[in-house]
Amino acid sequence: MSEPLLALKHISKSFPGVKALDDIDFSVQKGEVVGLLGENGAGKSTLMKIISGVYTPDSGDIFWQDKKIKLKSIMDAQEKGIAIIFQELNNCPNLSALENLFLGHEIRTSANFVDFRAMKKKAKEIFSYLDVQIPLEKPVGKLSVALQQMIEIGKALLANAKLIIMDEPTSSLTDKEVQKLFQIVKELKERGIAVIFISHKLEEVFIITDRIVVLRDGKHVGELKTSAATQDELVALMVGREMHSFFSKRTKEASDETILKIENFSGPPYIRGVSFYLRKGEILGLAGLIGAGRTELALLMIGAEQKTSGNMVLHGKEIDVRSPWQAIQHGIAYLSEDRKMKSLVLQMPVRANITMAIHSAVTGTLGMLDRKKELEVTNSFIRLLDIKTSGPEQTVNNLSGGNQQKVVLAKWLATKPSILILDEPTRGIDVHAKAEVHKIITDLADKGTSIILISSELPEIVALSDRVVVMHEGQVKSVLEKKDISQENIMSTVFSA
Ligand SMILES: Nc1ncnc2c1ncn2[C@@H]1O[C@H](COP(=O)(O)OP(=O)(O)OP(=O)(O)O)[C@@H](O)[C@H]1O
Ligand SMILES: [Mg+2]
């Protein structure tokens, strides 16, 4: 009845200090969409890298269409028909869309010249099949994440892939882009192409998959037909126990003391006349659709971009913030939504990344690095945020995606800011860690830190915020008081704009 395309038997893989995969069995049928779930560091990406030839397993066997195979490289896997779209996209940002699409597989003329005309024709065919408009000459680094993914999917189709692995493809897509991606997954399925889909968003996994496999601590802990699975069951499998409350509740109310006033901010690219205030110990939600200008506003506030008009009043005194460094001096920290590009030095250890913004605090009297202090701070954050790492010396590159996000959070918490701007702080992190981050946010606020929370997840905004500023097209549409905060009210404000 079902045709096994890929089967893994007893796969194990260790890295120094961690058994990432422990005796895993895993299979995919032709035309099947399999969801892979698990907490940060559970081993999802590692398993996918084994299937796609990036890593070789320490032990275990791989069968492709019932034949035992060894995958020696990504190329090797590609030739078999296995394609992967990595969690952290690894295309060549400076090359054009066309060049990326055909990288390593250029079409050549009989005289062995690269045949651009034939490549363009083929590219147009593929993108029209995918129903996307992609400027072929543009460097892909300048395209949206969604379009970059479409190029990767195009590449998989070009290579006649029978299995396409998507590692957290939706984490930086808008709702509309997610719908589009799902449409494509359905079409792939109809063509008999199998898809492995990784996401921390359970709703998505319910919509798009046929079967769900759950990993925990490198072990295969459960497998369910999607139609028979429930959310509670999946969460229990992932975290290894029942979890009832996802959202932390505030124990204290924000004080009446206004700590920060933003007056009439305007600036690039399209922020116009934004004003609001922030109280001590308050969590102020910033809601709006992607493109509403929330990140752009934050960048103006910390001086990463220069405003064209407006004032910022901190503790009753006007301040002039022209760089993120000056913002930190004033006790304002910003956690960027884009952890890889802006916040981490991937080749450096966890220790250096966490203490990067508090260099002076871990420097001794003679200007020498105080190793002991540095380790103390690092270890306290590894414990506080439950960062899964083999230790403070692990390079951040080797952490799972979600654990990288926790390192970024630690880096900014270490500056002990009085105002903390969090931009999508729970993107890409699992349910359990998310609950932890929510608890950390409410604890910080209870202790007097003022927080501006930018999030595309309305339940998160609704559960945590004391007030919500709703933005649309670079302007403030309305400010909701605690009693008026609900998903419906926020959405109707956005759409009445
Ligand atoms: N190249 C590597 N070197 C050392 N350790 C690694 C390496 N790659 C992964 N690990 C470790 O293996 C474990 C599994 O990581 P993996 O990236 O597979 O997790 P994941 O399930 O994809 O998590 P996430 O949801 O956060 O992306 C983690 O503890 C991680 O730190
Ligand atoms: Mg991963």
Q: What is the DSSP string of 155-221?
A: HHHHTT-SEEEEESTTTT--HHHHHHHHHHHHHHHHTT-EEEEE-S-HHHHHHH-SEEEEEETTEEE
> How many Å lie between the centroid of ligand 1 and the Cα of residue 398?
6
Cβ within 8 Å of residue 388, ≥6 positions away: 18, 40, 41, 399, 400, 403
Beta carbon of 405 within 6 Å of any ligand 1 atom: no
> How many Å lie between the centroid of ligand 1 and the Cα of residue 44?
8
Q: What is the DSSP string of 96-109?
A: BHHHHHHTT---B-
Contact assessment for residue 462 and residue 487, using Cβ atoms and an 8 Å cutoff: yes
Domain borders along the chain are 4-239, 282-306+321-495
**Which pLDDT does position 66 carry in this prediction?**
93
Q: 4-239 is classed in which CATH architecture?
A: 3-Layer(aba) Sandwich (3.40)
Amino acid at the residue 337: E
Class for the domain spanning 282-306+321-495: alpha beta
Three-state DSSP at 409 gives helix
Cβ within 8 Å of residue 442, ≥6 positions away: 248, 249, 250, 251, 283, 464
Instruction: Count Cα neighbours of 181 within 13 Å in the Cβ-side half-sphere.
Output: 30
**Other CB atoms closer than 10 Å to residue 297's CB: what's the count?**
26
Q: Where are the alpha helices (DSSP H) in 302-400?
A: 324-329, 350-355, 371-384
**Which pLDDT does position 35 carry in this prediction?**
98
Residue with tokens 């081993």: 43
Whether 282-306+321-495 and 4-239 are alike in CATH topology: the answer is yes
The stretches in the chain having pLDDT less than 70 are: 1-2, 241-249, 339-342, 362, 365-366, 497
Beta carbon of 399 within 6 Å of any ligand 1 atom: yes
> How many Å lie between the centroid of ligand 1 and the Cα of residue 156?
24
**Which pLDDT does position 340 carry in this prediction?**
62
Beta carbon of 214 within 6 Å of any ligand 1 atom: no
Does the model's pTM come out above 0.95? no
Beta carbon of 51 within 6 Å of any ligand 1 atom: no
Instruction: Count Cα neighbours of 38 within 13 Å in the Cβ-side half-sphere.
Output: 26
Contact assessment for residue 11 and residue 17, using Cβ atoms and an 8 Å cutoff: no
**Other CB atoms closer than 10 Å to residue 143's CB: what's the count?**
20
Three-state DSSP at 63 gives strand
* Separation CA 465–CA 491 (nearest Å): 15
Residue to mutate (ligand 1; options 219, 397, 399; most atoms within 8 A of CB)? 399
pLDDT, tens digit, 9 for 90 and up, residues 82-104 = 999 988 777 888 899 999 999 88
* Separation CA 33–CA 28 (nearest Å): 8
Looking from the CA of residue 168, the nearest atom of ligand 1 is 27
Contact assessment for residue 6 and residue 195, using Cβ atoms and an 8 Å cutoff: no
What the block records as the tokens of 310 is 């407006």
